Amino acid sequence: MTIKRFSSGFSLVELMVGIIIALLGSLVILQVFSITEQSKQTTTSGSDAQQNGALAMLLMDKDMRQAGYGMNVTACTGPCAGSGFMGGTVNINDSGPRTVAATPFVFAPILIMQGAANAPDTIVVSYGNAATTSVPEYTRGDMRSGTDSINVNSNNMETYSVYGYSLGDVLVLADATTGTGDVIQYSGADNTDDRVKHETGSYQLGPVTQAFRYNDGVLPVYGGGSLLFNLGPAPVNNSYSIVQDSAGRRNLVQTNNMTGSQSIIAADIVDLQAEYGKDTDNDDVIETWDTVTPTGANFAALNSAWEQVKAVRYGLVARSIKREPACNVTTTLPVWRPDGTTTKTFSNVGTNADWQCYRYRVFETTNVLRNLIWTP
């Protein structure tokens, strides 16, 4: 007797039902995964903006805390009475390699170049880094030509010698009557007559031979009572501006105006606005916050107007990298408070047609120009 054995298994209908259930399961899993991924990217892009903005603020703040070091003038009697140089225009006679052209150096801790209409502002930060002197000397006169050495007032000191300069130090020779100056570089001293030299050629810095890069200019003759500031081996005159790249991204760019080099220091920074804090009645308390760069009918008036600038306040906007699918993640333009209370809008953010598809973070701070506390 044979036993007929039926082979057990799925029928075609059972198989198809099974496949459909598996497909539905996969769909649900994919859907959940997609939603999770989307929310993860949104969270990450928000933190990108947070990080970029914080980095931008950190780097700018680090520079601004030093703004004005070595640039102030203490009270002086004699031929130089009352003369300061804040707000003067200094030529950077640079023979070194540059990626951007040398622009005149406005001799002030902070210069805000207001963007046209509501475009981003550019903030220029300046300071010296001399290890020894942080106050200028007055010249004794007799600079006989534009390349002649400079007779400094060292006879005010105990020793009859040129004091406080190191080879390669970058100096600013300034005429406080006209408000113009020139960057030069210290190339040695002639101690028989207290003279500071600013020759072309090169010098040895440790194992490295360096060229004097700021001594090629033909200078006007500077008379007695001119100021000689020692800004040290590597003074800073940095511009911070928003530059749009070829892909349409806006980044915070730092330009080193002394050497002409440029770099992106924080990505996706879409606006930068700044205002001056001014003490207009000379009681060391700021009462005015505005965007007006000091002016004056003559240099003395311009100098006084600059000496009212005691602080800078600035705000910047960082944008998330991710463009959200729904363009309603931001509904109002970001704002800041330049004087601490009045609200102002970052209008430049809205010039991107799809600005509402991104998230933004606002950062704002005040930097007191504390290196100017000795200003007369």
Positions touching Ca ion (CB under 5 A) are: 114, 121, 273, 279, 281, 283, 285, 287
CB of 189 vs Ca ion, minimal distance in Å: 43
**Which residue, 195 or 313, is less far from Ca ion as judged by CB?**
313
Question: Strand runs (DSSP E) across 299-353, as ranges?
Answer: 309-319, 335-336, 344-345
142 vs 279, which CB is nearer to Ca ion? Answer: 279
On whether the CB atoms of residues 116 and 94 are closer than 8 A, the answer is no
Nearer to Ca ion by Cβ, of 190 and 287: the residue is 287
Query: Which residues, in sequence order, are CB contacts of 151 under 8 Å at separation 6+?
Result: 139, 140, 141, 142, 143, 193, 194, 195
CB nearer to Ca ion: pick between 149 and 303: 303
Tokens 């970001």 -> residue: 334
C-beta of 349: minimal distance to Ca ion in Å? Answer: 13
Min separation Cβ 273 and Ca ion, Å: 5
Alpha helix ranges (H) inside the chain: 12-64, 299-307
Residues 6 or more apart whose Cβ sits within 8 Å of residue 311 = 276, 277, 286, 366, 367, 368, 369
Between 105 and 336, CB nearer to Ca ion: 336
Task: Answer whether 139's CB lies under 8 Å from 155's CB.
Answer: no
The two structure tokens encoding residue 330: 């931001």
List 309's β-bridge partners, or say none: 278
Of 105 and 289, which CB lies nearer to Ca ion in the complex structure? 289
CA atoms within 13 A on the CB side of 192: 0
- Shortest Å, Cβ 245 to Ca ion: 22
The CB-of-290 to Ca ion minimum distance in angstroms stands at 11
Decide whether 185 or 375 has the Cβ nearer to Ca ion. 375
Q: How far is the CB of 120 from Ca ion (least distance, A)?
A: 7
Residue 242 sits at φ, ψ, to 5 deg, of -95, 125
Minimum distance from residue 114 beta carbon to Ca ion (Å): 5
Q: 116, exposed or middle or buried, with CB in 10 Å at 0-12, 13-18, 19+?
A: exposed
Taking the complex as a whole, the smallest distance from the CB of residue 315 to Ca ion amounts, in Å, to 10
Report the residue number, 136 or 315, with the smaller CB distance to Ca ion: 315
Q: Where are the beta strands (DSSP E) in 87-179?
A: 88-91, 105-107, 110-113, 122-127, 137-141, 150-152, 170-175
- DSSP type of residue 161: S
CB closer to Ca ion, 232 vs 315: 315
Please, what is the minimum distance in Å from the beta carbon of residue 253 to Ca ion?
Answer: 17
**Rounded to 5°, angle at Cα 265 from 170 and 121:** 80
Residues 6+ apart with CB under 8 A from 82: 76, 300
